[in-house]
Amino acid sequence: MNEFLNVAIVGGCGRVGLPLGLVLATRGCQVSLLDIDARRVEQVNAGQMPFTETGAPALLQQVVGKSLRATSDARCLAAADAVVTVVGTPVDRHLNPEIHDLYRSVDSALQDMRDGALLVLRSTVYPGVTKLVYDRVRDLGRNIHVAFCPERITEGKAIEELVTLPQIVAAFEPEAQARVRDLFARITPTVIELQPLEAELAKLFTNSWRYLNFAVSNQFYVLAQTYGLDFNRIHDAVTRDYPRMRAFARAGFAAGPCLLKDTLQLAAFSGNNFFMGHAAMLVNEGLPNFIVNQLRGAGLGGKTVAILGMAFKAESDDPRESLSYKLKKLLELEAGEVLCTDPYVPDPTLVSVERALAGADIVILGAPHAVYAGLEFPPGKQVVDIWGFWRHAAGGCGTMAQSHA
Ligand SMILES: NC(=O)c1ccc[n+]([C@@H]2O[C@H](COP(=O)([O-])OP(=O)(O)OC[C@H]3O[C@@H](n4cnc5c(N)ncnc54)[C@H](O)[C@@H]3O)[C@@H](O)[C@H]2O)c1
C-alpha cells in the first residue's frame, strides 16, 4: 500500500476537481478542495453535489468530513504533499487562450506550498504553459516539483472514467515524474508517460479530434438537408454492419466548455494555421443559424418555437457554451415567442415541458435527454430533430421525427 498522502485541489469544487477529489479520498489521500466559490464549498461540506455527476453523491457521503473537506482557506496548501490545480482555462473574446487566471492561481498557490511538494497542472493548458510554470518555480528559487497530467473525463461519467481510463503524466525531472506517476497509479492501472509538451498536445489533439469528427457529421447533415434529404436515413444506411464507419458520429450540437475552446487553443498554437479547426468551428457554431435559415423559409414571424433541452449535451445540467442558448438568441430576433425547457438546467427563465409543447408551433430538440424519448406531438406541430433522436426512440421507423425541410 502507498503511503498516506495529503492532497489539495485548487478549483476543487468544480466539474473536474470534485470528482478527482472524491476518488483520491477513497485511495489513501486526505483531500482538501480549495475553491473561491463559497456556495459550492458550503454545499460540498454539507454532503450535497453542486452539479450532477453519476455515482458522486454516494461517494461524497462516504468521504465528506472524513478524508475530504472543502475550504476557501488557502492555508490548506501548506500541509499538502501534492497540489493539483484545475481552474478554468477559457479563450478570450478574440478567441485567444486566456491563461492569466491559471497563472494567478499558480502564483498564489506557490506562496503557500511547502518546499518538496508536488504541483500538478490538471487544467487543459495552452502548449508550453507547463514549461513556463516550471521556469517560474525555478526563478523563485523554490524546490517544488512541477508536473502536467491532463483530465480526459467526460462530464457525467467522471467517477467511472477516472478509475478506468489511462492517465497521461508528464514532468521535466525524474523525481517529479515518479511522484506524479505514483499519485495517479493510486486511481488507475494504466499510467502513460510523456514529455510535458507532448502531453499538452495529447489533450488538445483529443478534444480537437472529437470536435472535427462532429463537424464532419454536421457538415453532411447540412448538405443532405439542403437537398431535402434525411441525413439520419443515410447515416443509418452507411453505418449498419459496416465497421469502418463506426467513428461516423450522428449530427447534433457540438458544444460545451471544452471542445471549441481547446480547438481554438490548438489553432492559436499553430499560428492560426489550423484550417480544419477553424472550419469545424464554422460548421458546428453555424448549425443553429442553419436551422433558423431553414425555418425562415417556411415562415417564422409570429410563430411560437419551443426548444427542448438547454444543456450542452444529453443528460447534463451544464449549460456552459450550449448551442441551445445561441439558437434561442437567434430565434428571439425573428419568432413570435421562444419557450425553453430543460429538466436539469437551473435557469429561472425556463418553463415546463408541458407548457413549452402546449404553446409551440415549432419544436426543436436542443439536447436529446432520455426523458424526451416518449413525447408525443399533436398533429400540426413542426418538429426539428437534428440528432435523429425520435427516429431511434421510435424504433427506427421515424414516425415522430419529421424533417423541418
Ligand atoms: N468539464 C469537463 O468535462 C472537463 C474535462 C476535461 C478537462 N477540463 C478542463 O478542466 C479545467 C476546469 O474545468 P471545469 O469544467 O472543472 O471548470 P469549473 O468552472 O467547473 O471549475 C473550476 C472551479 O475552480 C474554481 N476557481 C476558479 N478560480 C479559482 C482560484 N483562483 N482558486 C480556487 N478556486 C478557483 C471555481 O470556483 C470552480 O469551482 C479547464 O481547463 C477545462 O478545460 C474540463
Work out the average pLDDT over 24-48.
98
Please, what is the average pLDDT of the chain? Answer: 94
Residue 399 confidence (pLDDT) above 80: no
Round to whole Å and give the CA distance between 370 and 378: 20
Ligand 1 atom having least distance to the Cα of 10: 33
Residue 320 confidence (pLDDT) above 90: yes
Q: Is the CB of 11 under 6 A from ligand 1?
A: yes
Instruction: At 196, list the grid cell.
Output: 510535458
Instruction: At 75, list the grid cell.
Output: 492555508
Round to whole Å and give the CA distance between 308 and 239: 27
Question: For atom 27 of ligand 1, which residue has the closest CA?
Answer: 87
Quickly count: other Cβ atoms within 10 Å of residue 394's Cβ.
14
Q: Is the CB of 87 under 6 A from ligand 1?
A: yes
Do domains 5-194 and 228-393 share one topology? The answer is yes
User: Hey, is 171 helix, strand or coil?
Assistant: strand
Quickly count: other Cβ atoms within 10 Å of residue 398's Cβ.
18
Round to whole Å and give the CA distance between 10 and 27: 19
- Is 149 within 8 Å of 119 (Cβ atoms)? no
Q: Is the CB of 40 under 6 A from ligand 1?
A: yes
Q: Is the CB of 284 under 6 A from ligand 1?
A: no
pLDDT of residue 392: 75
Q: Is the CB of 257 under 6 A from ligand 1?
A: yes
- Is 35 within 8 Å of 12 (Cβ atoms)? yes
Please enumerate in sequence order all residues whose Cβ is within 8 A of that of 6, keeping only pairs 6 or more positions apart, or say none: 29, 30, 32, 79, 80, 81, 82
pLDDT category, 196, cuts 50, 70, 90?
very high
pLDDT of residue 86: 96
Reported pTM: 0.94
Q: Is the CB of 14 under 6 A from ligand 1?
A: yes
Q: Which position has the grid cell 498554437?
A: 269
pLDDT category, 304, cuts 50, 70, 90?
very high
pLDDT tens digits, residue range 97-143?
888 888 898 999 999 999 999 999 999 999 999 999 999 999 999 99
pLDDT category, 391, cuts 50, 70, 90?
confident
pLDDT category, 326, cuts 50, 70, 90?
very high
CATH topology of domain 5-194: Rossmann fold (3.40.50)
For the residues of 72-109, what is the DSSP string, one character each?
Answer: S-GGGGGG-SEEEE-----B-TTS-B--HHHHHHHHHH
Q: Where are the domains of the chain?
A: 5-194, 228-393
pLDDT of residue 51: 98
CATH topology of domain 228-393: Rossmann fold (3.40.50)
pLDDT tens digits, residue range 138-147?
999 999 999 9
pLDDT tens digits, residue range 207-230?
999 999 999 999 999 999 999 999
Q: Is the CB of 264 under 6 A from ligand 1?
A: no
- Is 316 within 8 Å of 52 (Cβ atoms)? yes
**CA 259 to ligand 1 centroid distance, Å:** 14
To 10 degrees, the CA torsion angle through 290, 296, 297, 301? 170
pLDDT tens digits, residue range 151-174?
999 999 999 999 999 999 999 999
pLDDT of residue 378: 82
Q: Report the helix count and the strand count for the chain, using DSSP H and E.
A: 14, 12
Work out the average pLDDT over 285-289.
98
Where b means 16+ CB within 10 Å and e means fewer, 145-175 reads bbbbbbbbbebbbbbeebeebebbbbbbeee
Q: To test ligand 1's pocket by mutation, which of 16, 18, 102, 321 has the most ligand atoms within 8 angstroms of CB?
A: 16
pLDDT of residue 400: 31
pLDDT tens digits, residue range 241-255?
999 999 999 999 999
pLDDT tens digits, residue range 83-101?
999 998 888 888 888 888 8
- Is 149 within 8 Å of 122 (Cβ atoms)? yes
pLDDT of residue 317: 98
To 10 degrees, the CA torsion angle through 361, 343, 156, 338? 40
Question: For atom 7 of ligand 1, which residue has the closest CA?
Answer: 151
Where b means 16+ CB within 10 Å and e means fewer, 208-218 reads bebbbbbbbbb
Round to whole Å and give the CA distance between 193 and 294: 49
